């Protein structure tokens, strides 16, 4: 999985900054390639986003992890359920690709998935 993402990152061009239009600065860190400009940043050459978007994505991840950590369903099924709930394809359904608006919908979607899953078990 990790090597797949690394290959993907190298194949992508360095992103341009949506604020000033210049090519983002790129630094190799121990967590991977980090691009930044004008207070925005991203990893692995994805589009630069602001701190609010990063926070919304982190919150979305924490919320989503509750589904499979509580053993309600395997991780793959949880992603499938989340994609359906958000009206995304399975390929689009990655926190790191979500804009802030979509990421903010994840906790509500997760609550609905957990609720439905518990009802089906009962
Ligand atoms: Zn910039």
**Cα-to-centroid distance, 37 and ligand 1 (Å):** 4
Q: Dihedral, CA atoms, 77, 78, 84, 88, nearest 10 degrees?
A: -110
> Could you read off the pLDDT of 41-62 as tens digits, one per residue?
999 899 999 999 999 999 999 9
**Cα-to-centroid distance, 78 and ligand 1 (Å):** 36
Token digits of residue 24: 């983002």
**DSSP H/E element including 5:** helix 2-11
**Cα-to-centroid distance, 27 and ligand 1 (Å):** 15
Instruction: Give the mean pLDDT of 3-13.
Output: 62
Instruction: Give the mean pLDDT of 81-96.
Output: 94
Q: Is the pLDDT of residue 2 over 50?
A: no
């Amino acid at each position: 999985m990790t090597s797949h993402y690394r290959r993907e990152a190298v194949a992508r061009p360095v992103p341009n900054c949506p604020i000033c239009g210049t090519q983002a600065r790129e630094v190799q860190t121990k967590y991977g390639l980090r691009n930044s400009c004008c207070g925005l940043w991203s990893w692995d050459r994805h589009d630069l986003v602001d701190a609010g978007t990063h926070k919304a994505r982190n919150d979305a991840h924490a919320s989503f992890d509750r589904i499979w950590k509580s053993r309600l369903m395997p991780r793959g099924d949880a992603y499938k359920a989340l994609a359906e709930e958000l009206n995304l394809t399975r390929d689009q359904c990655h926190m790191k690709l979500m804009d802030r608006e979509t990421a903010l919908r994840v906790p509500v979607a997760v609550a609905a998935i957990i609720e439905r899953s518990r009802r089906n078990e009962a």
